[in-house]
Amino acid sequence: DAGVIQSPRHEVTEMGQEVTLRCKPISGHNSLFWYRQTMMRGLELLIYFNNNVPIDDSGMPEDRFSAKMPNASFSTLKIQPSEPRDSAVYFCASSLAERSTIYFGEGSWLTVV
């Protein structure tokens, strides 16, 4: 079975450029999460969706970050404009229902120079 699929796996971009990260959750899962991992802050929940609807975006650091889930099988996290401090690993994760196991993708490793 395919797990959570993220793309790109690695991206290096210049400051000021737009970055779009993509995620395909596990088929049938109705909850989707975006996390950011850095050495300084560890794992941070940015936003999560339930049935394609954003439920909690309080972790989104600022207006430069936006996330969408147009359908049950696709989500994007966009950073515009990007800054060097956005360099991190961004993980997408999905789960079937409340209190069920959350499965993570392999992450998108972003470097903004």
Binding to another protein by CB under 8 A, coded x per residue (else -) over 26-45, reads -----x-x--------xx-x
Select the residue interacting with another protein from 29, 46, 47, 48 (CB under 8 A). Answer: 48
Indicate the burial class of 47 (C-beta count within 10 angstroms; 0-12, 13-18, 19 or more). buried
Distance CA 11, CA 19 (A): 9
Closer of 42 and 70 to another protein (Cβ) = 42
- Tell me if 1 contacts another protein by CB under 8 A: no
- Tell me if 25 contacts another protein by CB under 8 A: no
Structure tokens at 58: 């309080």
- Tell me if 101 contacts another protein by CB under 8 A: yes
Closer of 16 and 61 to another protein (Cβ) = 61
Q: Within 10 A of 61 (CB to CB), how many other CB atoms are there?
A: 13
Closer of 52 and 64 to another protein (Cβ) = 52
Residue 63 to residues 30, 92, 97: CA-CA distances in angstroms? 26, 19, 29
- Tell me if 104 contacts another protein by CB under 8 A: yes
